[in-house]
Amino acid sequence: MYPVYHEMDLMQFGDVINERMEQAYPHTNLRERRVTCGFSQSELSKESGVPIRQIQLFEQRERDINKTSAITLYKLSKALHCSMEALLEK
């Protein structure tokens, strides 16, 4: 029927909410910022020095940008003219 949120433990509830957020907002903050700045993935890779495959994995959510190194976030944020926090996923 429907999920019973009040009977879930916190981890289950967090997982369900994260799934719903990803469905509601399918694009990552990195992709949104990249498109807004007018970069292709390859252009962002050249501008930031971050490998294109790593950018692809971040945008496909196959690699967690929240767990990447600070230097990678710094390079991407400088190329996209934003704060490092703006690229992190909630």
Q: Where are the alpha helices (DSSP H) in the chain?
A: 10-24, 29-37, 41-48, 52-59, 70-80
Cβ 50 vs Cβ 76: under 8 Å: yes
What is the per-residue pLDDT across 51-80, written as a single tens digit (0 to 9) for each? 999 999 999 888 999 999 999 999 999 999
CA distance linking residue 4 with residue 84, whole number of Å:
36
Measured CA to CA, the distance from residue 45 to residue 17 in angstroms comes to 32
Task: Say how many residues make up the chain.
Answer: 90
3-state DSSP assignment of residue 90: coil
pLDDT 10s digits, 26-39? 789 999 999 999 99
